[in-house]
Amino acid sequence: MYDLIIVGGGPIGMACGIAAQEAGLKYLIIEKGYLVNSLYHYPHSMTFFSTADKLEIGGIPFISQNSKPTRSEALEYYRRVCMKHQLHIHLQERLIDVQSSEAGFSITTDKDAYQSQYLILATGFYDLVNPLNIPGEELPKVAHYYKDPHPYFGLRVAVVGAANSAVDAALELYRKGAKEVSMIIRESEISPRVKYWVRPDVINRIEEGSIKAYFEAELSAIHDDHIVFEHQGQSKEIANDAVLALTGYRPDFKMLENIGLEFSEEASHKPLYDEDTMESSVSNLFLAGVICGGLETNKWFIENSRVHADKIIGELKRRMKG
């Protein structure tokens, strides 16, 4: 019987583990992939928008070469944190089912079964993409995650979206030898939320014609050698070799519903929780990290959700004392 099981070995699940360890709780972190699995799957050349100090957890300083760390520096940092704190974590183990009763939670994974008095879900949102739901989306030339530019060298690539991931990918593809980079953008401008030091770069590349941007455009079909989209009321076709649909991500709502969580009626569809304790609508089940924003995936980051760990563990200490 554990005091606490934490699902998700991202930065915030780790922060919860460290706080639980410091409070003397019997805890376990369950992670379905690698340590900080989402960060591992970010683009290889990615740089965080946060400065290194804002990504720190467990009181361990994060030293990076420049003020904003790279993905590989972050991976190195979180590995170090895990080793230093000797966190109890099971990697490559996926949560399958949670049943709650007065006695606590019965937790089933693809490897084992556990009992725990309390449960934290820190499962993030990066595993599920917002699909395009158009013909051709299943073709092998379509990807929803961008890793590195090499496979796109010499190809005509369409990037769907206009937020940070899409803009970073379009700029890198243009600079690393894609034959042609087109952006298919539903809105009438590049998202105002794009990093303030990157936005002018992409706007200038579009204005000079290095990157072709179709604003107020919506992709309607993907074929082997071309794509079709609606552009300002007209149907257009362009030759194409690869599509990067970088249209955002969403938490695993199905899993959360199966566990019995309730959600806000707002467009964000965020799971309901108490902002002081982070307890969800299921008693003794807490939420931590970016999962708390629901579809509003730009609300929570590592830097502003690290505090969830101390809020939750502080509350557990109060309850366990009482």
Ligand X SMILES: Cc1cc2nc3c(=O)[nH]c(=O)nc-3n(C[C@H](O)[C@H](O)[C@H](O)COP(=O)(O)OP(=O)(O)OC[C@H]3O[C@@H](n4cnc5c(N)ncnc54)[C@H](O)[C@@H]3O)c2cc1C
Contact positions vs ligand X (CB under 6 A): 7-13, 30-33, 36-39, 42, 46, 48-50, 94-95, 122-124, 126-127, 165, 289-290, 301-303, 305
What distance in Å separates the CA atoms of residue 232 and residue 81, rounded to the nearest whole number?
50
Q: Between 46 and 261, whose beta carbon lies closer to ligand X?
A: 46
Contact criterion met (CB below 8 Å) for 2 and 117:
yes
What's the closest the beta carbon of residue 35 comes to ligand X, in angstroms? 8
Query: Which ranges of the chain does DSSP label H, i.e. alpha helix?
Result: 11-22, 37-40, 71-85, 164-175, 199-207, 253-259, 302-305, 307-321
Q: Between 46 and 219, whose beta carbon lies closer to ligand X?
A: 46
Q: Between 128 and 221, whose beta carbon lies closer to ligand X?
A: 128
What's the closest the beta carbon of residue 12 comes to ligand X, in angstroms? 3
What's the closest the beta carbon of residue 13 comes to ligand X, in angstroms? 5
Q: Between 105 and 229, whose beta carbon lies closer to ligand X?
A: 105
What's the closest the beta carbon of residue 173 comes to ligand X, in angstroms? 16
How is residue 110 written in tokens? 């693809």
What's the closest the beta carbon of residue 237 comes to ligand X, in angstroms? 31
What distance in Å separates the CA atoms of residue 39 and residue 74, rounded to the nearest whole number?
8
Q: Between 116 and 240, whose beta carbon lies closer to ligand X?
A: 116
Q: Which DSSP string corresponds to 40-107?
A: HTS-TT-B-SS-GGGG--TT-----SSSSPBHHHHHHHHHHHHHHHT--EE-S--EEEEEEETTEEEE
What distance in Å separates the CA atoms of residue 56 and residue 48, rounded to the nearest whole number?
13
